[in-house]
Amino acid sequence: MSVLKKLSSCVREYKRPSLEAPIYVIGEVIFEALIPYTIALLVNEIKDGRGIDRILHYAWILLAMAVASLIFGYLAGISCAKASCGFAKNLRHDVFYQVQEFSFSNIDKFSSASLVTRLTTDIQNIQMAYMMIIRTAIRAPLNLVFSFAMAFYMGGSMAMIFLLVIPILGIGLYAVARVTMPLFKKGFPKYDALNESVEENIKGIRVVKSFVREDYENEKFHNASEDIRKIFTKAERILALNSPLMQMCMYSVMLFVLSVGSKTIIASNGAELDIGQFSTLLTYSFQILTSLMMLSMIFVMITFSAESAGRVCEVLDEKSTITNPEHPVMEVKDGSIDFEGVSFRYASHSERPVLENIDLHIRSGETIGIIGSTGSAKSSLVQLIPRLYDVSEGTVKVGGKDVRDYDLTTLRDSVAMVLQKNVLFSGTIAENIRWGDKNATDEEVKHVCMLAKADEFIDKMPDGYNTYIEQGGTNVSGGQKQRLCIARALLKKPKILIMDDSTSAVDTKTDALIRKAMKEYIPSTTKIIIAQRTSSVEDADRVIVMDNGTINAIGTSEELLRTNEIYREVYFSQNKQGHEEEPSVETKEVFA
Amino acid sequence: MKKRAGKGTVKRLLKMLFEFFPKLLPVIICLIVINAVISALPSVFQQRVVALIQESWEQGLSWGESRPGIMKNVATLATLYICSLLAGFAYNQLMAVFTQGTLAKLRDAMFSHMESLPIRFFDTHKRGDVMSYYTNDVDAMRQMISQSFPQLLISAISITTILCIMLYYSIWMGLVIVLGSFVSIAITRIVGGKSARYFIAQQKYVAATEGVIEEMINGEKVIKVFNHERDAEAAFDKANNELFEAAFNANRYSNTLMPILNNVSYIIYVFVAVVGGLLIEYNVPNVSISGLPISIAVVVPFLGMSRQFAGMIQQISPQINSIVMGLAGAERIFALLDEEPETDEGYVTLVNATEKNGKLEEADYNTGVWAWKHPHQADGTITYEKLRGDVRFFDVDFAYNPNKMILHNITLYGKPGQKIAFVGATGAGKTTITNLINRFYDIEDGKIRYDGININKIKKSSLRKSLGIVLQETVLFTGTVMENIRYGRLEATDEECIAAAKLAGADSFIRHLPDGYNTMLDGDGSNLSQGQCQLLAIARAAVADPPVMIMDEATSSIDTRTEQIVQRGMDALMAGRTVFVIAHRLSTVKNSNVILVLDHGRVIERGTHEELLALKGQYYQLYTGAFELE
């Protein structure tokens, strides 16, 4: 029920067409029911040979009815289109806006791919169902009732046959729907999986060919495809029973009406039933059975979309795990950072915390390097500073205040973060850089590009700062992309700048130049640099060595070289060949 | 989609369907015809019953008197109904089998053909485009095969039948109905034509909106870091509103087509009635095959036929769109099936061998020794050459397209046990060289020899089996960790896979995964870090145990300490084998036997690390950080 309530709140400005559509449908149905009746009268006039005047009389009535029915049908079609497309628009809008409020953990919970599916395929299913509901779901039962009433009116006791046939057909159709639905539900995910495996093969064609696995892949695909064929053939064969079932009912009614009807007409000499009424009865039988068929389709459709509706509502119901405090602090005093007894886990039920008992104090303006093997929770540590995730225990303070007390926008404007898995958006280079500050002048944009050492290659591009970046940034190299991402973050003029392995694809010399420029131009900004290369952190004020979710050591590069085993190993693996000791630390789980 | 599919496509499609099901398809077509004829007949008998009733009534016959005549017709009708039911049942059942069977065969044909295509095809076709063959195009075909074709056939037969009956009764009245049908068709074309245009527009905006959604949702974390939520919303709203407009237009037209056609059919009905009345009134002479004069007995059946006729047209009109789309889909699928597969003229194969008294003999079991089986066409003899992994390039030139040479005069010797490294900027041709070894591409000029054999003579599957490749972009497949490692050698035991994982330094992180080696991986490896994916890819190559290994930036995302562990394992594995290494990180290539520095497709420096440093050239500059590799 809550699902329906939630969804119906998205109808909003399309309430009017949503309500109008059924009204027009009612009009359409009334005329559709009356037209065969009038036709019966017309046929009788012709049969009785009453002449053209009487024929014209009914012809006009019929014409008027057809036009009226056309208008209603037309209006119903339009308002229905408006209502369903509008509803889908609002629904997409609400879900998208909801995602904008999500925290990182919310996004992790659903995964980006699943959010995209919910916004696209699922909402499309719901739109179809909505259209069906406001149009056919009212039309079919109404049609049924009207036709039924008319059949009784015209055929009297003969219409009793419907009381017999309708339950049989109804039960039959319901049974078919009930049996096929689980099959379809089983089949569709397999179909999706098949398509995913095709995509995997396209993406990995070089691997497939390198390992000479074409036959293996063909067989794998064939088996999956065969599996799908079996399920869908079974489902469709059962579904295909609908049509003979429907025909059977139709034929039974026909035979019944013909044999009993002809007797009634002749025996009563047309008093109880005349020929016109007799033909019309046949028309109504057809309408009654068609309506039943439609009802069964609606039943299937609604059941299918109910799953989609459930998935969409899950998103709408999700509470963001990170929200603004009631009386937020609107200014970040300085760039100092304090971790006090911080523990962190991504999910409350995970056994082992990712970060454990971290105490760390960083002064405003300091440059901090962080080193550690894959999976030592370097990224997790820094993501707590702009409150991308909330700590599980302890506090993280920025500018002396708990990050949870700040206004989120204020905090994140002051703490710029260059993410490890970074993206550029489709648009020009300048537009991408201006993500940092919409109102930045061209000079400011150029300045940050100069700091990030991106200006040289941008100038070499044919359209310079107006060069269009394709979706996903596919037309710039990895190193260029990283430098653009740094420039974008610099434009925010942050108090704290965090670079999470953001120069890994940049060569060492440029890397050094970027660090030098930052030192010169933004000396008061606190800088935190996560790196794999020791050369990137060598000139930092202090270097933190992370190991397995804890701080292993803190100190200057020289100090650590003397005292810290891990740092020495990393350093020598990159610089000198003289180091022969066996590295003892294993790679750990990674939370990228 | 706009392009009209030619007659050739229809012909080819029918031919293909016939080849898929040479027995079933004719049966189905027969059933369709029988169905169509049978379903047209009952109305004749119905009319006859009505006429009989009328007659009896007019002649004042009692029920007892008229009963035999009426019941005889009702019985015939019942028989027809039973036939129709049986035919309908059979048709529907067979059609379900046929449709799904066709789709399965089509998918298999597409997939296996795709697997046989050369790498060049995948270079020149976007992944999304290829995917849409399997999704959109197959869907469009399904719609056409299972519904539109049969419906069209049935309608055509029914219309012909009804037309004949009309001619039998009265040509004048028939003309009225035919004229009316033309009006209906005209309306369909006006409304339906626009609807097709709007549907194409709708497709476009759906794609555009999905593009925005995908880009924004996938970049959501960046949006949050930059407080860019409001801007994302604005971009989304724009796309969403445009989609609404397009979808509204498309649905408005498709929703209104049916009520219009339905009610136009009533209007035609009225015309038939009026014209019939007028004809009777003014005693207009009839023109017909039967020679019947215009009478009530002629006009009344016509009214029924006019409804039937309209019904047929109503059923055809929605099929037109789906046939146009289905044929476009078929045409695209045929284009895929027509792509030239990778050719393989090689005849030297890799076989298991045993060594007896210094002579190699072929064995049909796994001996651990491999040999090239080389049949000589000239004298019909077969020689065996032991697989060693010696790869040599002599003056090799290569171009992806003839106008733009990528590699010039590449000469290199990779002897068993050696490690050869390629260093150079993006686009210098490092990966291209490795793509020539496994013949993803064929060389333009020069020679490549593998164990002294021209690689063009080696069967591609044998050649590739003898090479282990770890690529920069690691691709894992949906399945367990174990399955992914076993991909390297399908008959490897669990123990061998675990040993390979240990060698690659992947064992410890795998054991930390929720289900260890049985942990399911998503296709994109999204539940692993990039570095972990690379470790698995190395394990996968290690389990294949090939004499030649190509590592293309295989450790770029692994931290240097872990890389050292991997390196040690690999060195143990590769002892006595040939390794080609491409790496950005110079620490990875330092201990190579030869380092080739590439620039714009030419080798500009070659030598060991020390030699190259002493040279003080490009490599020296790279090493000291004075030069940028991007």
Does residue B370 contact residue B352 with C-beta atoms inside 8 Å? yes
- Residue from the list A198, A211, A573 with its beta carbon closest to the beta carbon of B564: A573
Report pLDDT for A414. 93
Question: Are A569 and B487 a contacting pair at CB < 8 A?
Answer: no
Please indicate, yes or no, if residue A397 is contained in any of the structural domains. Answer: no
Please indicate, yes or no, if residue A501 is contained in any of the structural domains. Answer: no
What is the distance between the alpha carbons of residues A537 and A370, in angstroms, rounded to a whole number? 7
A268 touches chain B (CB under 8 A): no
Which of A284, A317, A350 is the C-terminal boundary of a domain? A317
Please indicate, yes or no, if residue A374 is contained in any of the structural domains. Answer: no
B20 touches chain A (CB under 8 A): no
What DSSP string runs through B241-279? Answer: HHHHHHHHHHHHHHHHHHHHHHHHHHHHHHHHHHHHHHH
Half-sphere exposure of A489 (CA within 13 A, CB side): 29
Average confidence (pLDDT) over B482-499: 92
What is the distance between the alpha carbons of residues A422 and B130, in angstroms, rounded to a whole number? 27
Q: Is B624 helix (H, G, I), strand (E, B) or coil?
A: coil
A56 touches chain B (CB under 8 A): yes
| pLDDT > 70? residue A578 | no
How far A568 CA lies from chain B's nearest CA (Å)?
Answer: 10
Average confidence (pLDDT) over B243-252: 90
B621 touches chain A (CB under 8 A): no
Range of the domain at A445: 422-493
| pLDDT > 60? residue A590 | no
Report pLDDT for B447. 92
B450 touches chain A (CB under 8 A): no
% of chain A beyond a pLDDT of 70:
95
Give A85's contacts in chain B (Cβ within 8 Å): 244, 247-248, 251
| pLDDT > 60? residue B4 | no
Structure tokens at B377: 């066409």
Average confidence (pLDDT) over B591-620: 89
* Statement to judge: residues B413 and B354 lie in one domain: no
Give A270's contacts in chain B (Cβ within 8 Å): 57
Please indicate, yes or no, if residue B226 is contained in any of the structural domains. Answer: yes
| pLDDT bucket at B277, cuts 50 / 70 / 90 | confident
How far the first Cα of chain A sits from its last, in Å, is 39
Question: Are B220 and A135 a contacting pair at CB < 8 A?
Answer: no
Mean pLDDT of chain B: 84
| pLDDT > 80? residue A528 | yes
CATH of residue A192's domain is 1.20.1560.10
pLDDT for B114-150, tens place per residue? 999 998 898 888 777 788 888 778 888 888 898 888 8
A107, β-bridge pairs: none
Q: Residue A213: which region, alpha, beta or left (left: phi > 0; alpha: psi -120 to 50)? A: alpha
Question: Are A233 and B96 a contacting pair at CB < 8 A?
Answer: yes
Which of A474, A493, A512 is the C-terminal boundary of a domain? A493
Report pLDDT for B526. 58
- Residue from the list A266, A413, A425 with its beta carbon closest to the beta carbon of B227: A413
Please indicate, yes or no, if residue A217 is contained in any of the structural domains. Answer: yes
| Closest C-alpha among B127, B195, B501, B145 to residue A81 | B195
* Statement to judge: residues B396 and B379 lie in one domain: no
Report pLDDT for B267. 87
What is the distance between the alpha carbons of residues B201 and B207, in angstroms, rounded to a whole number? 10
Q: How many independent structural domains does chain A possess?
A: 2
pLDDT for A129-170, tens place per residue? 898 888 888 888 888 888 888 888 877 777 888 888 888 888
- SS3 percent helix, strand, coil of chain A, rounded to 5, is 65, 10, 25
B177 touches chain A (CB under 8 A): no
Q: Count Cβ atoms below 10 Å from residue A563 Cβ, excluding itself.
A: 11
Question: Are A28 and B259 a contacting pair at CB < 8 A?
Answer: yes
Q: Is A390 helix (H, G, I), strand (E, B) or coil?
A: coil
Question: Are A266 and B53 a contacting pair at CB < 8 A?
Answer: yes
How far A424 CA lies from chain B's nearest CA (Å)?
Answer: 8
Structure tokens at B609: 């690390």
- How far is CA A489 from its chain centroid? 28
Name the B residues in 215-244 with CB < 8 Å from any A CB: 215-229, 231-233, 236-237, 240-241, 243-244
Report pLDDT for A446. 94
CATH of residue A442's domain is 3.40.50.300
Q: How many independent structural domains does chain B possess?
A: 3
CATH of residue B477's domain is 3.40.50.300
| pLDDT bucket at A375, cuts 50 / 70 / 90 | low
Give B194's contacts in chain A (Cβ within 8 Å): none
Range of the domain at B609: 392-623
- Residue from the list B96, B236, B260 with its beta carbon closest to the beta carbon of A74: B260
Please indicate, yes or no, if residue A197 is contained in any of the structural domains. Answer: yes
Half-sphere exposure of B225 (CA within 13 A, CB side): 31
A81 touches chain B (CB under 8 A): yes
Name the A residues in 151-180 with CB < 8 Å from any B CB: none
Identify the residue whose tokens are 């593009």. B211
Which of A269, A301, A317 is the C-terminal boundary of a domain? A317
Structure tokens at A535: 């050369």
Please indicate, yes or no, if residue B26 is contained in any of the structural domains. Answer: no
Identify the residue whose tokens are 């049996």. A179
Question: Are B263 and A69 a contacting pair at CB < 8 A?
Answer: yes
* Residue partners of A127: CB distance under 8 A and separation at least 6: A84, A85, A87, A88, A91
How far B358 CA lies from chain A's nearest CA (Å)?
Answer: 30
Is beta strand B419-424 parallel, antiparallel or unpaired with respect to B594-599? parallel
| pLDDT bucket at A256, cuts 50 / 70 / 90 | confident
How far B357 CA lies from chain A's nearest CA (Å)?
Answer: 33
How far A359 CA lies from chain B's nearest CA (Å)?
Answer: 24
Please indicate, yes or no, if residue A79 is contained in any of the structural domains. Answer: yes
Which of B317, B337, B357 is the C-terminal boundary of a domain? B337
B259 touches chain A (CB under 8 A): yes
B114 touches chain A (CB under 8 A): yes
* Statement to judge: residues B323 and B407 lie in one domain: no
* Residue partners of A207: CB distance under 8 A and separation at least 6: A213, B469, B471, B475, B487
What is the distance between the alpha carbons of residues A426 and B216, in angstroms, rounded to a whole number? 10
* Statement to judge: residues B305 and B380 lie in one domain: no
Give B561's contacts in chain A (Cβ within 8 Å): 373, 566, 569-570, 573, 583, 585
Please indicate, yes or no, if residue B616 is contained in any of the structural domains. Answer: yes
A109 touches chain B (CB under 8 A): no
Please indicate, yes or no, if residue B69 is contained in any of the structural domains. Answer: no
* Statement to judge: residues B486 and B502 lie in one domain: yes
Instruction: Tally A–B CB contacts below 8 A.
Output: 429
CATH of residue B293's domain is 1.20.1560.10
pLDDT for B411-436, tens place per residue? 999 888 889 999 887 667 888 898 89
Report pLDDT for A571. 85
Question: Are B565 and A583 a contacting pair at CB < 8 A?
Answer: yes
* Statement to judge: residues A427 and A301 lie in one domain: no
* Residue partners of A368: CB distance under 8 A and separation at least 6: A362, A526, A527, A528, A529, A540, A541, A542, A543, A544
Please indicate, yes or no, if residue A565 is contained in any of the structural domains. Answer: no
Please indicate, yes or no, if residue B81 is contained in any of the structural domains. Answer: no
**Which of A389-393, A575-579, B10-14 has the lowest average pLDDT?**
A575-579
Please indicate, yes or no, if residue B84 is contained in any of the structural domains. Answer: no
Cα torsion angle, B362, B366, B367, B369, sign? positive
A225 touches chain B (CB under 8 A): yes
* Statement to judge: residues B270 and B413 lie in one domain: no
* Statement to judge: residues B143 and B183 lie in one domain: yes
Which residue type, as a one-letter code, is found at position B359? K
Range list of H helices, B219-349: 220-225, 229-281, 296-338
Question: Are A93 and B135 a contacting pair at CB < 8 A?
Answer: no
Which of B221, B471, B507, B563 should one mutate to test binding to chain A, selecting the residue with the greatest count of A CBs within 10 A?
Answer: B221
* Statement to judge: residues A313 and A428 lie in one domain: no
What is the distance between the alpha carbons of residues A379 and B292, in angstroms, rounded to a whole number? 93
- Residue from the list B88, B464, B560 with its beta carbon closest to the beta carbon of A243: B88
Is beta strand A427-428 parallel, antiparallel or unpaired with respect to A468-469? antiparallel
pLDDT for B27-61, tens place per residue? 999 988 888 777 777 777 777 787 787 777 778 77
Please indicate, yes or no, if residue B89 is contained in any of the structural domains. Answer: no
Give A251's contacts in chain B (Cβ within 8 Å): 78, 81, 84-85
Structure tokens at A292: 């039943």
Structure tokens at A387: 């409150």
Half-sphere exposure of A376 (CA within 13 A, CB side): 24
Q: Is A132 helix (H, G, I), strand (E, B) or coil?
A: helix
Q: Count Cβ atoms below 10 Å from residue B217 Cβ, excluding itself.
A: 26
How far B541 CA lies from chain A's nearest CA (Å)?
Answer: 9
* Residue partners of A124: CB distance under 8 A and separation at least 6: A88
Choose the most confident range, by mean pLDDT, from A106-115, B36-45, B271-280, B330-339.
B330-339
Average confidence (pLDDT) over B491-518: 87
A423 touches chain B (CB under 8 A): yes
What is the distance between the alpha carbons of residues A135 and B619, in angstroms, rounded to a whole number? 73
pLDDT for B477-486, tens place per residue? 888 999 999 9
* Statement to judge: residues B375 and B284 lie in one domain: no
Which of B83, B217, B522 should one mutate to test binding to chain A, selecting the residue with the greatest count of A CBs within 10 A?
Answer: B217
Look at A474 and B585; give whichever has higher pLDDT: B585
Please indicate, yes or no, if residue A180 is contained in any of the structural domains. Answer: yes
How far B222 CA lies from chain A's nearest CA (Å)?
Answer: 7
- Residue from the list B96, B247, B267 with its beta carbon closest to the beta carbon of A236: B96
* Residue partners of B359: CB distance under 8 A and separation at least 6: none
According to DSSP, residue B577 is labeled S
